[in-house]
Structure 1
Amino acid sequence: MYHSTLYFLFSALSICIQSNVWMIEEYEGQLIVSAHGVSENPGQETISNWFKIEKFEDDYKLVFCPTVCDFCKPVCGDIGVTISENGIRRLAISDVPFKVMFKKA
């Protein structure tokens, strides 16, 4: 089954000038989801910004395995919740996917 690659952009009010686009970046030895990405422009320069939504059991899961670059070889994996040593919960590439459900708004 083909799953198109997409990026997540959130509308949010903030006094900070920052991105609201998800991306994968390394932090304290983990590949975590951050909001430092760039919207659109699929390709090698934005490879860390692209995700997939795949069917998982009765719901869905988020996956990082972009297909926006024909010759790039990204690390692929499910997005799950990890907990740091100081108790901070983050979305990150994980062996245990975080199950998500979508409802019509």
Structure 2
Amino acid sequence: MKTLMLLLLLSTISISMGQPSPDPVRDLDGNLVRAGTEYYILPVFRGRGGGVTYGRRRNESCPLDVVQADLEIDNGLPVTFTPVDPKKGVIRESTDQNIIFSAASICFQSNVWMLELYDGEFVVSGRGVAGNPGRETISNWFKIEKYEGDYKLVFCPTVCDFCKPVCGDIGVLIDESTGRRRLAISEVPFKIMFKKA
């Protein structure tokens, strides 16, 4: 009986302690990346384009998609991160985030990143909805994960218990006809770092 009571007590303690928090994401200066603060998402490897920004990728002028700037000296547009729990101030690895451009778009569209199927590819666009985690917003949540000492973006949201979203690394696909470097699910992750704006 004492053994059973001890096991119940230990299991209760371990459940109440919960899982440790994932590691915090850090910027180029080693500082914690914080929710609501503006950052540039930059490539680790220079000479292969600049930071992320809006760009035209479709035949029409709107909507705009998320692309990598052509010039490596171009930091792109600043973004903010909003975690699934908006009360959390520090951005943590492998947790769901909304990524939101801080600049206005020339199109009447949201600045919240989302993943959508277009022309046979899962591409990142700026037409999402912030917050409200669940089935209706499943395409609007991204994760930051450690990758070879730096970071990568991943689409594999866990904001819906019964949904089965497509999962994959976000990489840069080059459009052969335009040369535009668009963000999309790819077998090769886009190795990135964060610089405070």
Question: TM-score scaled to structure 2, two decimals?
Answer: 0.50
> What SS does structure 2 have at the residue aligned with 1:48?
helix
Aligned-residue offset at 1:15? 4.5
Instruction: Give the total of aligned pairs.
Output: 105
Cα–Cα, structure 1 residues 17 and 104, in superposed 2: closer, same or farther, change >3 Å?
closer
Cα–Cα, structure 1 residues 92 and 15, in superposed 2: closer, same or farther, change >3 Å?
closer
Structure 1: stretches of 5+ with no match in the other structure: none
Q: 2:172 aligns with which of 78, 81, 100?
A: 81
Matched to 1:91, the amino acid is: L
Query: Is 1:59 equivalent to 2:150 in the alignment?
Result: yes
Please list, as runs of the form range in 1=range in 2, the aligned pairs for 1:12-91 lying within 5 A after superposition.
12-86=103-177, 87-91=179-183
Matched to 1:18, the amino acid is: Q
Q: Deviations over 1:13-46 (max 9, x none)?
A: 3453210000000111000000010010110000
Aligned-residue offset at 1:104? 4.5
The answer to which of 69-78 and 13-22 deviates more is 13-22
> What SS does structure 2 have at the residue aligned with 1:40?
coil
Higher helix share: 2
> What SS does structure 2 have at the residue aligned with 1:70?
coil
Q: Distance in 2 between matches of 1:7 and 1:46?
A: 10
Query: Is 1:96 equivalent to 2:185 in the alignment?
Result: no
Q: For the Cα contact (< 8 Å) 2:105–2:111, is it kept in 1?
A: no
> What SS does structure 2 have at the residue aligned with 1:101?
strand
Structure 2: stretches of 5+ with no match in the other structure: 1-20, 23-93
The answer to which of 83-92 and 37-46 deviates more is 83-92
Give the number of the structure whose alpha-carbon radius of gyration is greater: 2
Question: TM-score scaled to structure 1, two decimals?
Answer: 0.92
Structure 1 segments of 4+ aligned residues over 3 angstroms from their partners: none
Q: Distance in 2 between matches of 1:42 and 1:52?
A: 14
Matched to 1:98, the amino acid is: F
> What SS does structure 2 have at the residue aligned with 1:9?
strand
> What SS does structure 1 have at the residue aligned with 2:139?
helix
